[in-house]
Structure 1
Amino acid sequence: MTTAELEVTAVLDAVRDIVPTLRQNGLQAEQDRWVPEENLQLLHKAGVFRMATERQHGGFDASLAQQNAVLTEIARGCGSTAWVASVWLASSWVARGHNEQTRGEVFADPDVRVSGVFTPTATLTPTDGGYLLNGFWRFNTGCRGADWNGISAMRTLPDGTTDQVAMVVPMSELTIDDDWKVSSVAATGSATSRAKDVFVPAHRVQKLEVVMEGVGSRSEPGTTNRQYTLGEFAVAQSVSVYIGIARGAYELFLDRLPGRGITYTEWTDQSRHPLTQIQVATAASKITAAEALSAGVVELIQRRADEGVELTALEKAKVRGDSAYAMQLSREAVETLYNASGASAIMLSVPIQRFHRDIQGLSLHGLSLLTTNMELYGRAILGLDADGAF
């Protein structure tokens, strides 16, 4: 193994070791509506937060496949913790698309935590040396523990027209609403963040397409190419969280099964019932199928990055479609296991109910919806316009 491969393997091994702790802290995380500090410190110590950082800034420059492997393990322990980690890694990845001065500021700490929202629900007004930022961003996952916030806004140009821009702002200069009160992934802390007359230096503001084009374009000699297309990278990365949640639910179900009977029947050992056997096998096969779809997507993205060739429209749509279907299979696997868990599974002290609620909530994410992604994929297969907003 190369030094880079050994570094990422060490991260993966360290994360596997802390899965029981992440799982144990799940109830506290949900009640606090934020990832416990113990979880964050364990991930920091493992090196998770420097996986998307370039090597020149002290990071591991981990590939999409390597990041996914780590995120899957985190999700086995806690879906919310994994979702926050995935957003921080993806947003750090986006920050790599900014200019050299901005990258130097953001990655002064290689373990930097960057949250991010692409929705341009804010305005930038020119002022001396930069801009004044005003607005808000909903669903800002991980903002409570982030160092920087990668956000989008509409900039007013001298001729009165506007364009969409991306920027990074210290999280300390923004405020956070206490509005993340939800029934799933509560610990992601995906609250609304706000800016009021926040000064943003001109060098930290770039046209959105410039940042998108710059992401991953500075791979260093001797490293695997990282010229991923941002939209496809973000979708393919998030699948790992769904698969990890499904894996965790599968393990939790099997752990609870010994000695359990089926209430109001003569079955004293649930594992002996043919229905339970079918349910377990079905869930296992769906998880395996989801992993295979995800692996195929990652291989395609990596192959095109290594070739220095952009994905075709059909390939981009395939990434969206196959990823969404992998998420759907993961959700179905958790539903099957939860439905076979008996009435005691509704207790907050029984983790499988939280895994069930978390994957249900994540499945409503706009980039995860099966119907939206299947429509896009189908249009591309049929040779129709499949352009989307992301």
Structure 2
Amino acid sequence: MAAIDNLLPEIRDRAQATEDLRRLPDETVKALDDVGFFTLLQPQQWGGLQCDPALFFEATRRLASVCGSTGWVSSIVGVHNWHLALFDQRAQEEVWGEDPSTRISSSYAPMGAGVVVDGGYLVNGSWNWSSGCDHASWTFVGGPVIKDGRPVDFGSFLIPRSEYEIKDVWYVVGLRGTGSNTLVVKDVFVPRHRFLSYKAMNDHTAGGLATNSAPVYKMPWGTMHPTTISAPIVGMAYGAYAAHVEHQGKRVRAAFAVEKAKDDPFAKVRIAEAASDIDAAWRQLIGNVSDEYALLAAGKGFRSNCAPVRAATRCAPPVAQSPRSTGCSRRPVPPRCPMRLRFNGSGATRTPVGCTPPTTPSGHT
């Protein structure tokens, strides 16, 4: 974690450049590679650390606190090593056999499908929101398996970069630096060993468990995927809070006898409430992950799914309050103002289905 902390100043300095570039800078990805970030959830057989997932999510939270896009992409691309570990050993060898540092992007939304053919599937579709795809050599795309015109399964197809097109469409307001472009797949054959059913993950019959049996690979998809999204969201909230406190510390309120905003008792209450809400969100989120991991390591059952979503939604009010508290909602804000960057990034995180309150908590078990 010390190595991650040492990276934070340079990642913070590149935050605006990351948004302007509309993807992570190559220097940022190399720096993350150099400190071993992407090995955190990778199996030991491929040189990884297969660590406690709480450590991985803590790292993504810290990265997101200084650059939302970097935290977002790091979390999503980083968790794909956990996902690939559940695939058949042959798929792992295809991706990591020559280069264990190979990265994978994804788009799990069912925007295409695979039709059953001899030996595998014929995949077609156009998948939006593939964060970090410019830095990946493979991708996971989600969708149903179609046989005789009907869906018979649902899962992820693993496809190499040479067999899909990246469409540059990511022109957005928040999290521009994630480079979440669209992947187009046309008549691509995917062998059976490069498909993983969500059912197999949920009932612990995934082929990769035969060679990767550490407790981390028994964590439920319903925890790992939503937390992958929620951890950087909470990190961005911490970053917005820090930017707000820094801004308030310099602000002078001319209407109140040149009183410093930081001395306003009402402002202090709002700041304290925001800090409390964000801390509570993180404690709930990381506590859920830690508890589940401990139970799995002990061979016991668990409950999952609700905490990641609740943690993400808890962070929205304190971040939304920041512009009103600082006066930014009533006056022009410079385009490169840190407060604008934090606010836009945090707002953009409310759209993924994994963080949608009306739907996801219903899966709580």
User: One fold, TM greater than 0.5?
Assistant: yes
Structure 2 residue identity aligned to 1:325: R
- Matching of residue 230 in structure 1 with residue 221 in structure 2: yes
- Change over 3 Å in CA distance of 1:152–1:369 after alignment to 2: closer
Q: Which residue of 1 aligns with 2:321?
A: 336
Q: Which residue of 2 aligns with 1:359?
A: 346
Q: Which residue of 1 aligns with 2:334?
A: 347
Structure 2 residue identity aligned to 1:324: V
Tell me which of 280, 283, 287 is aligned to 1:292: 283
Tell me which of 64, 69, 74 is aligned to 1:80: 69
* Contact 1:236 1:297 (8 Å CA) reproduced: no
- CA deviations on 1:232-281 (whole Å, 9 max, x unpaired) are 12123332212211221222223333332024442331111112211211
Q: Which residue of 2 aligns with 1:8?
A: none
Structure 1 residue identity aligned to 2:21: D
- Matching of residue 276 in structure 1 with residue 267 in structure 2: yes
- CA deviations on 1:317-376 (whole Å, 9 max, x unpaired) are xx42x3222212222222233332333783222212211111111122211123334555
**Displacement of 1:71:** 0.5
- CA–CA distance in 2 between the matches of 1:92 and 1:84? 13
Structure 2 residue identity aligned to 1:75: A
**SS where residue 367 of structure 1 aligns?**
helix
* Contact 1:134 1:198 (8 Å CA) reproduced: yes
- Matching of residue 132 in structure 1 with residue 122 in structure 2: yes
Structure richer in strand, relative to its length: 2
- CA–CA distance in 2 between the matches of 1:134 and 1:325? 35
**SS where residue 110 of structure 2 aligns?**
coil
- CA–CA distance in 2 between the matches of 1:128 and 1:375? 38
Structure 2 residue identity aligned to 1:23: R
| Aligned residue pairs, count | 359
- CA–CA distance in 1 between the matches of 2:100 and 2:188? 25
**SS where residue 218 of structure 2 aligns?**
coil
For residues 350-389 of structure 1, the aligned pairs below 5 Å read 350-374=337-361
- CA–CA distance in 1 between the matches of 2:254 and 2:183? 48
Q: Which residue of 2 aligns with 1:31?
A: 20
- Change over 3 Å in CA distance of 1:371–1:135 after alignment to 2: closer
- CA–CA distance in 2 between the matches of 1:135 and 1:59? 32
- CA–CA distance in 2 between the matches of 1:173 and 1:131? 14
- Matching of residue 192 in structure 1 with residue 165 in structure 2: no
Q: Which residue of 2 aligns with 1:47?
A: 36
* Contact 1:27 1:348 (8 Å CA) reproduced: no
- CA–CA distance in 1 between the matches of 2:359 and 2:10? 36
- Change over 3 Å in CA distance of 1:132–1:75 after alignment to 2: same
Structure showing greater relative contact order (alpha-carbon pairs closer than 8 Å, 6 or more residues apart): 2
What percent identity do the matched residue pairs reach? 24
Q: Which residue of 2 aligns with 1:306?
A: 297
- CA–CA distance in 1 between the matches of 2:244 and 2:112? 45
- Change over 3 Å in CA distance of 1:189–1:333 after alignment to 2: same
Structure 1 residue identity aligned to 2:246: D
Structure 1 residue identity aligned to 2:67: C
**SS where residue 154 of structure 1 aligns?**
strand
- CA–CA distance in 1 between the matches of 2:259 and 2:165? 55
Q: Which residue of 1 aligns with 2:241?
A: 250
- CA–CA distance in 2 between the matches of 1:255 and 1:97? 44
- Matching of residue 102 in structure 1 with residue 91 in structure 2: yes
**Superposed CA RMSD:** 2.5
**Displacement of 1:282:** 1.1
- CA–CA distance in 1 between the matches of 2:259 and 2:109? 53
- Change over 3 Å in CA distance of 1:374–1:198 after alignment to 2: closer
Structure 1 residue identity aligned to 2:350: S
- Change over 3 Å in CA distance of 1:105–1:277 after alignment to 2: same
Structure 2 residue identity aligned to 1:364: T
**Displacement of 1:146:** 1.3
Q: Between 50-59 and 143-152, report the one with greater CA deviation.
A: 143-152
- In the superposition, the TM-score normalised over structure 2's length comes to 0.89
* Contact 2:96 2:102 (8 Å CA) reproduced: yes
- CA–CA distance in 1 between the matches of 2:82 and 2:53? 11
Structure 2 residue identity aligned to 1:362: T
**SS where residue 340 of structure 1 aligns?**
helix
